[in-house]
Amino acid sequence: DAGVTQSPTHLIKTRGQHVTLRCSPISGHKSVSWYQQVLGQGPQFIFQYYEKEERGRGNFPDRFSARQFPNYSSELNVNALLLGDSALYLCASSWYREANEKLFFGSGTQLSVL
Amino acid sequence: GEDVEQSLFLSVREGDSSVINCTYTDSSSTYLYWYKQEPGAGLQLLTYIFSNMDMKQDQRLTVLLNKKDKHLSLRIADTQTGDSAIYFCAESAASNYQLIWGAGTKLIIKP
């Protein structure tokens, strides 16, 4: 079975541009979470979606948005890119949104903003 | 606010035990987790412990939780070269189930 897949794996953008990152969860998983991991730090929670609805949002500006589709895949959008948005963006999926659930992570999208 | 702290590096000899430590601040955390991250790979859940437990063992892994001191540790017995990775401690925020992560401990294995 395929794990969590993310695309693209690497991306280079310039300041002010817009980016869309994509995530396909494990088949049957209904919850998708997005995390930002800056080099040398732990992941920071951005969003959680469950059954196509936003169920949690971290402390990120409105430039960050996301959505979940009927097939449970998800997109993360970032507008007006800043140099500080350079990071590894991780997607995780799980069956539901319970506290003790295993989160299965993709390998991430490495975003570089120049 | 919530915060999770870990030391940045740990160096051990192959075959020895590794002990990675973590402190957290949110006393209402329900679950605490250990994740492993290898270069170019996503995060892999190693183990987790419920906040009303003080120990959990899973093969070579032993998790100890001192809730009074808000201290969590991960012991890896008989450390192998394949254990080289960054290990993250994370706690679940009681209010919304999002994970709060430490900065990670890089485990270096000496031959």
Alpha-carbon torsion A54, A57, A63, A68, what sign?
Answer: negative
pLDDT < 70 regions, chain A:
1, 97-100
Which residue, A105, A25, A44, is CA-closest to B90?
Answer: A44
- pLDDT given for residue B44 in this prediction: 92
Kindly report the nearest CA distance between residue B80 and chain A, in angstroms.
23
Is the pLDDT assigned to residue B39 strictly greater than 80?
yes
- pLDDT given for residue B97 in this prediction: 66
Chain B residues within an 8 Å CB radius of A4 = 42
For chain A, say whether B19 makes contact (Cβ under 8 Å): no
Q: Do A3 and A93 form a contact (C-beta atoms < 8 A)?
A: no
Kindly report the nearest CA distance between residue A31 and chain B, in angstroms.
12
Which structure tokens are listed for B86? 């960054």
For chain A, say whether B90 makes contact (Cβ under 8 Å): yes
Give the Å distances, CA to CA, from B51 to A7, B30, B38, B67, B89.
36, 5, 27, 7, 14
Chain B residues within an 8 Å CB radius of A43 = 43, 88, 99, 101
Kindly report the nearest CA distance between residue B97 and chain A, in angstroms.
5
Q: What would the pLDDT profile of B46-59 be if each residue is shown by its tens digit?
A: 999 988 889 999 99
Is the pLDDT assigned to residue B88 strictly greater than 70?
yes
